[in-house]
């Protein structure tokens, strides 16, 4: 990589020797030794770099499982990047999408003492003054945050979502790495240019920093609550604003069953097909009525309550549609529903013009 004045900067200077070494160890452990040499080998001769590049090309594109395992071992930032990639069926083959969808933030939890320190520093009081009880074992450990069940002095059960300590610095460092690697991939491989490797990193950067601000997520929850205040099918958790900060979010704890646990739903007398229809109606309203939608709707984020309502949680990743895009989407869906394929073609025909104006 070169600076504006032409000075050459090595990968090690960008990332720091320790991080570079750790990433190279992960790549080598999973059989990506050639990639490791190529990405970090700014000191290699032109002939050697050409040989390494040829070996990479001859080895074929890595299997979906190998890519997933590498992303898992590279840590939180790369897990989130893999999750973003899993939503891009327009770019990646189905086998890769299916494998990357397994990246559901199944990462080890940090110690409760670290979580307690974040809570006390953010809310400016001892944890014993905030909660009557706070369980030390996390109920969910994601790549950028983890969740603990707690009980307020009023007796209400709440979910306490806490940003992992030190995660912002790690993500900032890893994004620099992603830009470096995506630039090299686009420069040296046609496939990298076709999929737009750098644009994927830009999209990731836009979403990940929103996830690091609990005020943004709390605001998203509040907007969803307003949008669905007239619904007797959807339940949005209540935010405790007085116990929420940039790194801590305290909200109503929603008890229930994940929507993909079909046998458990039937056991409590709930029809899974009706739940699927509720989800479809909800998402249709989000897209076509509000233009404000939950962009990470996997089963762990959708809880079926005992009374049959569907509770939605985890509002860190949200999507937006303007009025024109909402019109295109509604015409597309309506055209398919009514078998009016002229309407479908018209909606699809307008899409390139829309992207010209927005990209």
Longest dimension (CA), the chain: 71
State the CATH class of domain 112-165+213-320.
mainly alpha
What is the rounded CA–CA span in Å between residue 355 and residue 359? 6
Q: What is the pTM of this model?
A: 0.76
DSSP 202-257: HHHHHHHHHHT-HHHHHHHHHHHHHHTTT-SSEE-PPB-GGG--SSEEEEEPPPSE
The answer to whether 37 and 44 have CB atoms below 8 angstroms apart is yes
pLDDT tens by residue, 336-347: 777 777 777 776
Which is catalytic among the residues 37, 105, 296, 314?
Answer: 296
What is the rounded CA–CA span in Å between residue 76 and residue 170? 8
Domain ranges across the chain: 11-103+168-206, 112-165+213-320, 323-358
The answer to whether 303 and 257 have CB atoms below 8 angstroms apart is yes
Place of tokens 């699809």: 348
Structure tokens at 113: 């003492």
pLDDT tens by residue, 290-331: 988 888 777 778 999 999 999 999 898 888 887 777 777 777
Q: Alpha-carbon torsion 68, 69, 72, 74, what sign?
A: negative
Assign residue 290 a region (left: φ > 0; alpha: ψ between -120 and 50; beta: otherwise): alpha
Would you call 213 a catalytic residue per the annotation?
Answer: no
pLDDT tens by residue, 129-142: 999 999 999 998 88
């Amino acid at each position: 990589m070169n600076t504006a004045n032409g000075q050459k900067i090595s990968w090690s200077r960008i990332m720091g020797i320790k991080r570079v070494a750790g990433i190279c160890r992960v790549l080598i452990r999973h059989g990506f030794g050639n990639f490791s040499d190529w990405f970090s080998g700014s000191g290699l001769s032109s002939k050697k770099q050409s040989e390494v590049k040829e070996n990479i090309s001859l080895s074929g594109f890595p299997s979906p499982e190998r890519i997933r395992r590498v992303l898992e071992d590279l840590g939180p930032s790369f897990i989130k990047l893999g999750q973003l990639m899993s939503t891009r069926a327009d770019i990646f083959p189905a086998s890769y999408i299916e494998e990357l969808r397994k990246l559901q933030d199944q990462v080890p939890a940090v110690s409760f003492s670290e979580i307690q320190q974040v809570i006390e520093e953010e809310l400016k009081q001892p944890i014993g003054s905030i909660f009557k009880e706070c369980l030390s074992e996390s109920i969910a450990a994601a790549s950028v945050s983890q969740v603990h069940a707690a009980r307020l002095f009023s007796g209400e059960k709440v979910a306490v979502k806490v940003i992992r300590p030190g995660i912002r610095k790690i993500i900032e460092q890893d994004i620099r790495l992603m830009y470096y690697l995506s630039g090299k991939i686009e420069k040296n491989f046609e496939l990298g240019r076709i999929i737009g490797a750098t644009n994927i990193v830009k999209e990731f950067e836009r979403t990940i920093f929103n996830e690091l601000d609990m005020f943004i997520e709390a605001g998203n929850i509040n907007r969803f609550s307003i949008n669905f205040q007239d619904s007797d099918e959807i339940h949005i958790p209540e935010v405790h604003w007085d116990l929420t900060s940039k790194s801590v979010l305290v909200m109503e704890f929603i008890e229930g069953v994940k929507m993909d646990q079909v046998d458990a739903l039937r056991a409590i007398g709930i029809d899974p097909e009706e739940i699927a229809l509720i989800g479809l109606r909800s998402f249709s309203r989000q897209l076509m009525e509000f233009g404000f939608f939950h962009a990470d709707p996997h089963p762990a984020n959708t809880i079926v309550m005992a009374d049959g309502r569907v509770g939605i949680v985890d509002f860190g990743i949200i999507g937006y549609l303007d009025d024109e895009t909402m019109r295109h989407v509604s015409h597309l869906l309506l055209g398919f529903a009514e078998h009016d394929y002229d309407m479908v073609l018209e909606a699809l025909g307008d899409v390139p013009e829309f992207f010209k104006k927005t990209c």
